[in-house]
Amino acid sequence: MAKLNQIIAVEKGVKSKSFADLTDAHHAIQKAPLLSGISRTYQPKDEEGEQLPPESTRVQVKAEEVLRDVGQTLTRLFDVTATKDWANCVARANVVVDGRTLIEDVPVSYLLFLEKQLVDLHTFVKKLPVLDAAESWTQDQSTDSWRTEPVRTIRTKKVPRNHVKAEATEKHPAQVEVYYEDVAVGYWTTVKFSGALPAKRVNEVLDRVVKLQHAVKFAREEANGTEVTDRQVGAVVFGYLFG
C-alpha cells in the first residue's frame, strides 16, 4: 500500500504529463487537414483519353481516438489527485515542541498553512528593534517602556574675552584680541526612553519560532507517512463524459 508522501512525489510528474498530452491533443484536433481524407479515381471520357493515377489522402487524426487517449491520460491524474485529497482528509499528526504537544491531530493542509506563516513570522521577529547595547536599560512602569539612568551634563556658553596683545601708548592704541571662552551656565539631566526589546527577549522568541518550525515540518512528514487507499474516480468521470 502506498503512502501519502509517495503519492505527493509522483503527483507533479503526472500533472506535467497530463497537461502536455492534453495540449498536444488540443493542437492536433485544431488542424483540419489532419482530420480530413480523400480518395478519388480518374476515368477518361474515351479510351484514347489521358490516364491519370488515383489520388488519396489518409485521415491522420481521429477525434474519437483523441478523446480516448485524453480520457486515459487524465484518468491517471484524476486518480492520483483523488487519492491524495482523500488521504489529506485523514492524514493528521501532533505538533510537539520539547516533548509538549501544542496542537493535536492537525490535518496536513493546516500544517502547510502553519509552515508558511512561520516563515513570515521568522522574518518579522528577526527584524524586531533591539535596545542599544551601549546603554544600561531598566523597565519603567510609569511609561511601560525601557529607560536609562539619569546622566548629568554641563551646559556651556561661549563668553567673549579680551586679550591685550600690546598696551596703549601715546602714539598707538592698545592692541586687543577678542576670544571666546566656554563658561558653565547650567546642567542637563538626561534620561533616554525606548520601546525596543532587549536582545535576549528577541533571541528567545526567535528560538521558539525556529523550534515550532521544526516541529511543524516533523508533523507534516509524519502525517504524509499515512498509508493511502487508491481512489479510482477517473474511469467513472471519463466513462460518463466520453462514453
Q: What is the pLDDT of residue 201?
A: 96
- Residues 103, 213, single domain; the answer is yes
- Residues 202, 128, single domain; the answer is yes
pLDDT higher than 80, residue 170: no
Q: What is the pLDDT of residue 198?
A: 95
Q: Spell out the residues 6+ positions from residue 108 whose beta carbon is closer than 8 angstroms to its own.
A: 4, 88, 91, 92, 220, 223, 224
pLDDT higher than 90, residue 186: yes
Strands (E), 86-150: 92-97, 100-107, 137-140, 145-148
**C-alpha cell of residue 139:** 523597565
Start-end of H helices in 89-162: 108-126
- Residues 110, 15, single domain; the answer is no
End-to-end CA distance of the chain: 30
Confidence of residue 130 (pLDDT cuts 50, 70, 90): very high
- Domain assignment present for residue 110? The answer is yes
pLDDT higher than 90, residue 167: no
- Residues 114, 219, single domain; the answer is yes
- Residues 3, 108, single domain; the answer is no
pTM > 0.85: no
- Domain assignment present for residue 183? The answer is yes
- Domain assignment present for residue 158? The answer is yes
- Coil vs helix vs strand at 36: coil
Query: Domain range holding 101?
Result: 94-132+195-224
Q: What is the pLDDT of residue 161?
A: 86
- Residues 183, 211, single domain; the answer is no
- Residues 169, 68, single domain; the answer is no
Q: What is the pLDDT of residue 34?
A: 82
- Domain assignment present for residue 26? The answer is yes
Confidence of residue 217 (pLDDT cuts 50, 70, 90): very high
- Residues 2, 32, single domain; the answer is yes
- How many helices and strands, by DSSP H and E, does the chain display? 6, 9
- Domain assignment present for residue 47? The answer is yes
Q: What is the pLDDT of residue 214?
A: 97
Dihedrals φ, ψ of 51, to 5°? -95, 130
Confidence of residue 93 (pLDDT cuts 50, 70, 90): very high
Rounded Cα–Cα distance for residues 185 and 217 (Å): 65
Rounded Cα–Cα distance for residues 188 and 203 (Å): 35
Query: Cα angle vertex 10, ends 6, 16, to 5°?
Result: 165
- Residues 179, 116, single domain; the answer is no
- Residues 82, 100, single domain; the answer is no
The predicted model gives 88-115 an average pLDDT of 94
The predicted model gives 14-40 an average pLDDT of 90
Name the one residue in this structure whose C-alpha cell is 512528514.
Answer: 221
Q: What is the pLDDT of residue 14?
A: 93
- Domain assignment present for residue 18? The answer is yes
- Domain assignment present for residue 139? The answer is no
Q: What is the pLDDT of residue 199?
A: 95
- Residues 104, 217, single domain; the answer is yes
What is the total count of domains within the chain? Answer: 3
- Domain assignment present for residue 141? The answer is no
| Crossing angle for the helix pair 234-242 and 63-88, to the nearest 10 degrees | 150
pLDDT digits (tens, 9 = 90+) for 29-79: 888 888 888 899 988 888 888 888 998 988 888 888 999 999 999 999 999
- Residues 183, 218, single domain; the answer is no
